[in-house]
Structure 1
């Protein structure tokens, strides 16, 4: 019965997710001397489409200009994913550029099995990897929302998102604050349009390398304000040596897929 309820909650949360395109203005909050960064700013575009019936697609682009004091370089990361929750499959493609020159390209497919997650990497080389049981990104976001709605403030999960070389999952710890109403001085609440007065949860997710020994530090932390429909704003991305903040500058709602899974896709 518990498993059935959990499945129903996940399905309900998945149907509540709204397709949207969010644009965030990024700026440097702080940087250690070790980072070699004196200045940094940029923009992030996150596009989320699809439905629980058709699967969910994301198009993500993060462009930053980095000033080291001696030179300025342009970093451009582009990621496309597709997650079919019913088929338990995930496709990922990532391209990273520095000063418009391609540094890295990774693509592949992952599928859940009883024994864990099987990853087939097609770029830059063909190989197969077996990983422990993991959630894919949209499934993990639904877990965050379900835990928030149930008043659970902490949980752990292993997540595979195809990042870096696409060959490892990351351990995550998620801290969820109490649901809040936007305040008058809430910086980017007005950019959330029809959701500007909607309650949200403050969320922080720490990502850890599973292979790290001892008492490891997170690879990075991400904090944000999360709505029940999956929209986020007021981002803080802490990479250890430097921290970026992301302010929602534009939110556009996109067409929603079929609500009834018997409808043609």
Structure 2
């Protein structure tokens, strides 16, 4: 089947990190918080046979700043019919990431080894970028597929970009002067890092975790998005960040 991308829209919340609790004294300003992320991705693919397939994915997740707990729910619809509904909680204890899957089928999966959660991974990449490092290899759990997927990843970090991006007015004040890095992350199925990646994500990543632009290459088609709306959240309580 010949696949041509006719329309691809990444939701405005490509990556939104919301600090929900105060930072602890001396802690990493990113990982000392908890993060709530919402993502909406919609696309329409022309089959080349006079018809098209529309898919819609909505995901919400919550991750604590220490990388010990990750809650997520992902609903995928195809032509307005629900094709997948994944709901699970991952908890780390004694070096084991235990995933309690509630949907689509109740199950518990234990993942051993050094496995990062999604925001942990972003922070590791930013830490490496700040040190001038160019490569980051990591195993990453993101809850995709049926809620138990772990990817082998390779991040390639470029030098800090110069000049301003074409940012929306609401973002210019908050992001002006903040270092940003061109980052490309390849996601491989576990144990297949010598083969072609499952997908590749290229982005303009700011030092505070905001993504200015993004391209996701699935080989059969490519999704592209850019920051077109931005709201800086105000710190609550005793939070200084």
Q: Same fold (TM over 0.5)?
A: yes
Q: What's the RMSD between the two structures over aligned residues?
A: 2.2
Q: Contact between 1:92 and 1:107, CA under 8 Å: does it hold in 2?
A: yes
The 8 Å contact of residues 79 and 92 in structure 1, kept in 2 or not, is answered as: yes
Q: Residue 10 of structure 2 corresponds to which residue in structure 1?
A: 43
Structure 1 residue runs without a partner (length 5+): 1-33
- Larger helix proportion of the pair: 1
* Paired residue secondary structure (1:86): coil
The 8 Å contact of residues 193 and 251 in structure 1, kept in 2 or not, is answered as: no
Whether 2:143 is the aligned partner of 1:162: answer yes
1:98-247 alignment runs, 5 A limit: 98-132=78-112, 133-182=114-163, 186=165, 188-190=166-168, 192-194=171-173, 195-212=175-192, 215-247=194-226
Name which structure has the greater RCO, CA cutoff 8 Å, separation 6+: 1
Displacement of 1:35:
4.9
Is the partner of 2:153 in helix, strand or coil? strand
Structure 1 residues 1-150: aligned runs within 5 Å: 35-46=2-13, 47-51=16-20, 53=22, 55-69=34-48, 70-86=50-66, 88-132=68-112, 133-150=114-131
Change over 3 Å in CA distance of 1:205–1:84 after alignment to 2: same
Q: CA separation in 1, counterparts of 2:213 and 2:231?
A: 16
Task: Supply the distance in 2 between the matched residues of 1:152 and 1:206 (Cα, whole angstroms).
Answer: 17
Q: What secondary structure sits across from 1:251 in the alignment?
A: coil
Cα distance, 1:38–1:203 mapped onto 2, change above 3 Å: closer
Shift of 1:153: 0.7
Aligned length: 224
Kept in 1: contact 2:3–2:221 (CA 8 A): no
Change (3 A) 1:190 1:158: same
203-212 or 143-152, larger mean C-alpha shift: 203-212
